[in-house]
Structure 1
Amino acid sequence: MCKVCGCNHAEVTMEGTQHQHHQHLDFDGVDVEQPWSAVSANTSRMIEIEQNILSKNNYYAKQNREQWLADQIFSINFISSPGSGKTTLLTEIILSIKAQHCIYVIEGDQQTALDAMRIRETGVQALQVNTGKGCHLDAHMVGHAAVDLKMQKNAFLFIENVGNLICPAGFDLGEAHKVVILSVTEGEDKPLKYPEIFHAANLMVINKIDLLPYVNFDLQQCCAYAKQINPEIEIIQLSATSGENMEQLNDWLIAGKAELQSGKIKLL
């Protein structure tokens, strides 16, 4: 659980400004902001702390989801290991659809604003959230970032999570869909090694297929593993670098936004 591995809101910054910590709610009298020691914790107490952390996050996620639904904001949480090509993928999506759609981006990294700078070069608004030692974004920090973006209605919100397949899986941000990305340089067994995120995701993107002739990656087996974990998961195979099959992902995103606006997707 992330409270054990070192996540700490006191270290969260947004574009170089330290996030001002403030208390919104008291959850069952448990102060989930205090550091927790794995050495001194017994199992039942750790379960209690974890449940309270997730309950608090789910409260903020519900707030985000209600607001975004009211404003017709179609939000996507992009999750992957470091180096899968998330930021390159996002820039290519943005360049392809920004003429017809309003787009906002929240970038999550432990340090630097480099990814947000890359996104802003495409001409859209992006805000960087640095999590410090934290290994994922949560609904609280994302909600504040979304407010800071001052988003127009009827827009896309792309959230690029911290590079990590483990911790982000358990934290709802209020998004419409989770998209998990893996590249062919990582190994086809990722869905079996990290089943929680593949079970939670609506779409798996296999990136860098232009490298298939040069790596030992079993594409068919990877898809089978993903379906074994989540029979409902959709799969798109593409290359953000070469552009191969990028239109499939763009079409998936645009169709999802249209379904949300037509009322076919119920997020609450």
Structure 2
Amino acid sequence: MCRVIDLQQAVLARNEDAARELREALAARGTVTVNLLSSPGSGKTALLEAELVLAGQRGIAAAALTADLATENDALRLARSGAPVKQVLTDGLCHLEAAMLARHLDGWLPESTRLLFVENVGNLVCPASYDLGEDLRVALASVTEGEDKPLKYPTAFGLANLVVVTKADLADAVDFDESSFLANIERVNPGVEVVFTSARTGQGVGLLLDRACAVLAGGAVHHPVMGVPSTGHHHGPPGHDHAHGNEHDHGNGHDHGPPHRHPHRDPALPPAVS
């Protein structure tokens, strides 16, 4: 008799176990983790650099780990902030996994770190199904990407605790329809906060840091409707289980909110908002 093994469920269940262990370890040392997800070119590196600079000015011990398939470009940019920064090269893997993140944090993350920003691989598909032990999951989209981004990637935006719109200074130039975007966000993630930012003009810079600090202080986070309590069984896209990549260093007790949620399926979207 043949036994069918759902490798997809097994991989995500294993990741969940690693995420739970990492979350507990970071909570014990008083570190809040922020997972940043977006498409390539969304402007999340520019925004993150500005947030890290502001954290330094405010005396908040923040660090950043950034993941890419290749190059150390983002880490070099982020290191200009003066915060501890580490580059992870995934050798072609399109997302980070909890065990992978834990290995790269081990022996590197300064004990004094209160906020850890994880800049995930630029991709709105694979990273969406992997809990990294984060306390705050943030989905970013630039105004240049169009108003229907949340509908095209409902898992990424549907599981976010916060949505950040970047490059807001270009909204008029690209005829960005803000009301349409907000309606689409509401369809996949009712009630989630949406903030508008521009790293170039400074608009909204500091809001991401403020939200992370609120979690650090024990504040509640938004509960996505799409999210469900962890059960150890998952039905997201298949994952991978490999030893990954290289890492390089650059630069020099809290309530962490509810456990992270994982998708079981894309939400059944209600009728379009006209």
Deviations 1:71-130 (A, max 9, x none): 110100000000000110110001111131111111110001111111112111111111
Which residue of 1 is the match for residue 124 of structure 2?
Answer: 165
Query: SS where residue 206 of structure 1 aligns?
Result: strand
| Match for residue 180 of structure 2 among 217, 221, 224 | 221
CA shift, 1:139, in A, is: 0.6
Q: Does 1:263 align with 2:222?
A: no
Q: Which residue of 2 aligns with 1:71?
A: 29
Moved more, 141-150 or 71-80: 141-150
Q: Deviations over 1:119-162 (max 9, x none)?
A: 11211111111112211111111101111323214511000000
- Correspondence 1:113 to 2:105: no
Residue 222 of structure 2 corresponds to none
The two structures have a TM-score, normalised by structure 1, of 0.79
User: Within 2, Cα distance between the matches of 1:227 and 1:80?
Assistant: 18
Distance in 2, Cα, partners of 1:184 & 1:141? 32
Indicate conservation of the 8 Å contact 1:202/1:232, yes or no.
no
1:93 aligns to what? Answer: 51
How far apart in 2 are the matches of 1:193 and 1:47?
30
Over the aligned positions, Cα root-mean-square deviation in angstroms equals 1.9
Higher deviation after alignment, 87-96 or 227-236 = 227-236
Task: Give the Cα–Cα distance (whole angstroms) in 1 for the partners of residues 99 and 106 of structure 2.
Answer: 11
Structure with more of its chain in helix, by fraction = 1
* Number of the residue aligned with 1:28: none
Q: Which has the higher contact order (CA 8 A, sep 6+)?
A: 2
1:25-40 map, 5 Å: none
**What are structure 1's unaligned runs of at least 5 residues?**
1-43
Return the TM-score normalized by structure 2.
0.77
Conserved 8 A contact 2:27-2:256: no
Return the offset for 1:262: 4.8
Unaligned stretches of 5+ residues in structure 2: 220-252, 261-274
Letter in 1 for 2:255: G
Partner Cα distance (1:73, 1:93) in 2: 17
